Structure 1
């Protein structure tokens, strides 16, 4: 029987550790008309905007981005936009699905302002990478035309995937789900005293608590149009005082809605902050 030296095992483990902790790398460019982004940085985050969290967002930018802040945000791209600063800067967000294919890119740039969505063009290919990392390249070598303005890109990335923070909630959603069920019941009944105790955040909080009854009526109508009358909790995650629930249910027009709800713990109780629900074809 052949013996393997501890030194050899140590070198192998060291090699794996170095591969797993390699620096994130991004290069290439994205051009739309006269606006050109030269990529200097790349980060990757697990994207949970769909229940299951089986997509990855890769951000390629010319300014450093904080992967942890983006991974922990309810709206990942809004968190990226907030990090652009006041100067000329931009990023490309590449969506990668569970099968390793592209699910679209989004380009955003400040000073000059430009934005663009695309999918299905060019050549996209992932490369072998250690567990917890993602690497690949997406190239559109021949410029394409979009309403009289050409664009092309060559995007190269190799980055560690930053997971969503926190831990799973119990199957029933725990205390955050109880608060959400109280919220949707109060929305259905138009029970303003209960809604005012459960609402959080500036937008919903200001409108529900407004002294102007027209503001309150408009807020209640908006909520009723998009909130399930009853909801099934599909899954949930808690991170400190923030909780995200994936829910589905039919609204008052019998339209099936599915998506995420953000709640925040305040003074021991959970408050409704916002929802991102979409219509679902049955």
Structure 2
């Protein structure tokens, strides 16, 4: 049996796996980049929220198991996977699938030795079963291609259940306490209220907006304002324990419409901004 038929047989076998399992074995899926040939043995899938519109799906094919629930609950699944894989020899391939069922990029990451590579638009991408709870397909390019003197090829059959985030609490139209804290933060930014911002930002505020360096504080304020809306409309808000994710839209100081998500974290001083993925709607 040749490699192509073997990969198809593996995919058919995987499609019969129990849908109750959070991850399925990815068979002999591999990605080769230069002298590194990485075979993956685990497959996971997660919804990846976009700035606006329906979520895409991230499929991770890994050489070692992940804590899938932590990834599903993370603000950025890719960052959580990087934290879990760390410096352990091996790595993963991330496949992005649009809501329409098209590929939206592939990312290869390997440690020991360290190497990474991303691409889109090459090879043959096919999608089989696709439901909110499960995704199956294959992305293959078995004829090597060249990238600045390094060749690569891959065959990536995948079949995995989509791990859903832990149950959360939907907040009110204003985003509840996290939403009001974010609105207060934006108001302080707009006014240039440095004392209030230092209180809201805690330790990071003290080095971004130093009291003993007016020039650095002004630069820090400019950096914090960059790309941030002057005020926002909160479209939705979900809280899980001491974390809350706000989906917002608004217009920044340059009259550019911004939209995306904001991660709020509750600490001793109340709710504060941890990070965001705001971007231009245009």
Sort the TM-score into its range (normalised by shorter chain).
0.7 to 0.9
Q: Which runs of 5+ in 1 are unaligned?
A: 1-15
- 2:96 is matched with 95
- 2:220 is matched with 219
CA contact (8 A) 1:95 1:103 kept: yes
**Structure 2 counterparts to residues 77-92 of structure 1, below 5 A:** 77-92=78-93
- 2:25 is matched with 25
- 2:12 is matched with none
Once the two structures are superposed, residues 17-67 of structure 1 have per-residue CA deviations (whole angstroms, 9 ceiling, x without a partner) of 944448512131011111221111111111114345521111111111121
Query: What's the C-alpha RMSD, in Å, of the aligned pairs?
Result: 2.4
Q: CA deviation at 1:239?
A: 0.9
Separation (CA, whole Å) in 2 of partners of 1:195 and 1:185: 10
**CA 1:78–1:214: 2 relative to 1, 3 Å:** farther
Once the two structures are superposed, residues 106-150 of structure 1 have per-residue CA deviations (whole angstroms, 9 ceiling, x without a partner) of 111112121111112111122226761111111112112222221
TM-score (norm: length of structure 1):
0.85
Q: CA deviation at 1:264?
A: 1.0
Work out whether 1:228 is the aligned partner of 2:229: yes
CA contact (8 A) 1:47 1:53 kept: no
CA contact (8 A) 1:20 1:131 kept: no
Give the total of aligned pairs: 265
CA contact (8 A) 1:46 1:53 kept: no
CA contact (8 A) 1:20 1:132 kept: no
Work out whether 1:44 is the aligned partner of 2:31: no
Separation (CA, whole Å) in 2 of partners of 1:133 and 1:115: 27
- 2:198 is matched with 196
- 1:63 is matched with 64
